[in-house]
Amino acid sequence: MLDDFMIRATLAGVGVALAAAPLGCFVVWRRMAYFGDATAHAAILGVALSLALSMSVFAGAMVVALLMALTVNLLTGRGYAMDTLLGVLAHSALAFGLVAVSFLSGIRIDLMAYLFGDILAVSRSDLMVIWGGAAVVVALICWRWSSLLTATLNEDLAYACRINPKREQLVLTLALAVTVAVAIKVVGVLLIAALLIIPAAAARPLSRTPEGMALVAAGIGSISAFVGLRAAYYLDTPAGPSIVCVAAVIFAVLSAIGGVRALRVS
């Protein structure tokens, strides 16, 4: 069954969507969109280092993404605004990564595949990594769901409930690093943040509970992957950007419907 490259691509897209959905909800609730983008940009440096050291791209990207996220956590509150700090680290890491790639002599590398994804080239081993990473992220979020939600709502409430907000932030950081690493093959480092944010944002008008929003976001992400891949196949367009375009259209349609309903009520 997995000999069909479209089936492998669809399974990869759905796997990433399932990992990104609950995490994307927390990114939206905590207004961490730029944080996710910065972590994703840093992954290209991990790709360069992994190729230079002949190690797994997944491992290299995850290590650098995790180091990037931990660095942001450590430097927060040291005199720089969060958006400034993220901007400096994100673009610096991306630039250093691109420069490092240029020094890789004797290694053929399709930079566009890492920047925008190459989901149609997903192999069986890639599928195992993607679904394994997705399982780790989903299990981690489910395990810490209540604590993460409490820390997201109010830090003082979290302390009152004997929950350490910094520890929960570390859990999100770890989950984000894993998600970035598994999503590189699907949508590339430049579009990972979009796959995190857009389905979660589109799910908000349809949800009444946090759990419902995570489930709806997973559904929207999976539909975006399926429809986007089919559109890319028939229209001969890039697969990763096509998936994000479908998610953006869904968001626009749901937002328009929500706006019309709000006008009727008023």
In angstroms, what CA-CA distances link 11 with 5, 180, 216, 232?
Answer: 10, 17, 18, 16
Q: Residue 1 has what pLDDT?
A: 47
Q: Give the 3-state secondary structure of residue 86.
A: helix
Q: Residue 2 has what pLDDT?
A: 46
Neighbours of 206 (CB within 10 A): 16
Cα-based torsion angle of the residue sequence 252, 239, 21, 255 in order, rounded to the nearest 10 degrees: 0
Q: Residue 107 has what pLDDT?
A: 60
For residue 6, the surrounding DSSP H or E stretch is: helix 5-29
Q: Output the CA torsion sign for 10, 12, 17, 22.
A: positive
For residue 108, the surrounding DSSP H or E stretch is: none
Domain 5-191 has CATH 1.10.3470.10: yes
Within the chain, how many helices (H) and strands (E) appear? 12, 0
Distance of alpha carbon 184 from alpha carbon 43, whole angstroms: 8
Domain boundaries defined on the chain: 5-191
Residue-wise pLDDT tens for the chain (266 aa)?
445 778 888 888 899 988 888 888 998 888 877 777 777 777 778 877 787 777 777 788 888 878 877 777 777 666 666 677 777 877 887 788 778 777 776 666 666 777 777 788 888 888 888 899 889 999 999 998 999 999 888 888 888 888 888 888 888 888 888 888 888 878 877 788 888 899 999 998 888 899 999 999 999 999 999 999 999 888 888 888 899 999 999 999 988 887 777 677 66
Q: What is the per-residue DSSP string for 130-190? A: HHHHHHHHHHHHHHTHHHHHHHHH-HHHHHHTT--HHHHHHHHHHHHHHHHHHHHHHH-TT
- Mention every residue, 6+ apart, whose C-beta is less than 8 A from residue 79: none
Distance of alpha carbon 213 from alpha carbon 200, whole angstroms: 7
Q: Residue 253 has what pLDDT?
A: 92
The pTM is what? 0.85
Q: Residue 106 has what pLDDT?
A: 62
Q: Residue 95 has what pLDDT?
A: 84
